[in-house]
Amino acid sequence: MPQSPDAHILQDGSDVREGNDRQFTRGRGHPVFDTAFGYLRTAAIRAAVDLDIFSIIGTGSATAQVLEQRARASFRGLRILCDYLTVIGLLHKNGSSYSLTPTSRQYLDRTSPFCLASCVDFLAAPEMVSLALDDPSTYVRRGGSEGLTLIAPDNPVWLRFARSMVPFSGPAAKRLAAYVTTLPKPPGTILDVAAGHGLYGIEIARIAPHSVLTAIDWATVLALAQENAQRAGLTSRFRTIIGSAFDVDWGRGFDIIVLANLLHHFGEERCIDLLRRAKSSLSPTGQVLIVEFVPNRDRVSPPLEATFAFVMLATTPQGDAYTVDDLDRLARAAGFSGAAARPLSPTPLTLMVLQQS
């Protein structure tokens, strides 16, 4: 059927062609193109971190010619990369020289104590990108993906995860330990479930000098946790249990049990199973400390916490980003009297303290 000559006129009388022209010429990009090209942002930050571009520029503004010498990459490649990083807000450009933005100086320059560059190694790893991009309509249709469950426990990606996320987890682990210092007495026994790098349990053990810390995880990543415990001076107080948290015996009588960044990988029934196991392993006065990305009730804010639900959709069969209400309900289903939320500011993570009935 031929289009009406006025088919391009919207109900409000505006011209859709004129609107599109304006949108493309305002210098603000286009929401559809920006989103569809999102993978280019991933590629650019991976390349920049691999070549250490942000740290090189951090020593002083640099031209592509300077970067060519120091990064040992092509002038053309570096010029185009740095221009793109400027477009997406991670660099400034003045003439032919590039400099860091406040964001890249704080989080991507390796001399910064807050640098998160190593996190890119896992977050943008080929395995993760493949899970997200290969067949997104299928995992949306199914309501989940086999994803990470297909990666064997001894796969190097888990060690990559544990190592790369240390800069992100470190501040939250210190905030968690700060909460423990407010308890009536320091814990004598600590259990870190699916410990990974082990920092959460390690930071608590450091402020409780007579405590014994036990970590559960696969052997590959427990080796890293053991290294970190040794570096913290905890070798004589560090124990390990090798295996899946769903299968191994946790033991009994723990004063503190940490479930950090674990529940979001699973559906509600498996979360309740883990919480019941935790309850049976607590001392009479013990506490379960859950650390999670917790979105608001609307599930679309704050942005990072809300985005995490889609990460779980793409990479797990039933994982989710649980709200405070969700976690309180799961805690009660496992036999606790409830869960109280405490922000681990300035990190985006939330501490949920489970109260025994």
Residue 293 contacts residue 310 (beta carbons within 8 Å)? no
Structure pTM?
A: 0.87
Task: Retrieve residue 71's tokens.
Answer: 């990064």
- Where does residue 345 fall: left (phi above 0), alpha (psi -120 to 50 degrees), or beta otherwise? beta
Instruction: Please name every residue paired with 216 in a beta bridge, in sequence order, or none if there are none.
Output: 193, 241
* Contact by Cβ (8 Å): 47, 81: yes
Type of residue found at 231: R
**CB distance 291 to 260 below 8 Å:** yes
For residue 292, give the nearest of 316, 269, 326 by alpha carbon: 326
**In degrees, to the nearest 5, what angle opens at C-alpha 60 toward C-alphas 57 and 65?**
60
Q: Which two tokens stand for residue 218?
A: 């696969």
Q: Is 338 left (phi over 0), alpha (psi -120 to 50) or beta?
A: left
Per-residue pLDDT of the chain (357 residues; tens, 9 = 90+): 444 444 444 444 444 445 555 555 455 678 898 899 999 999 999 999 999 999 999 999 899 999 999 999 999 999 999 999 999 999 999 999 999 999 999 999 999 999 999 999 889 988 899 999 999 999 999 999 988 776 677 777 788 888 889 999 999 999 999 999 999 999 999 999 999 999 999 999 999 999 999 999 999 899 999 999 999 999 999 999 999 999 999 999 999 999 999 999 999 999 999 999 999 999 999 999 999 999 999 999 999 999 999 999 999 999 999 999 999 999 999 999 999 999 999 999 999 999 887
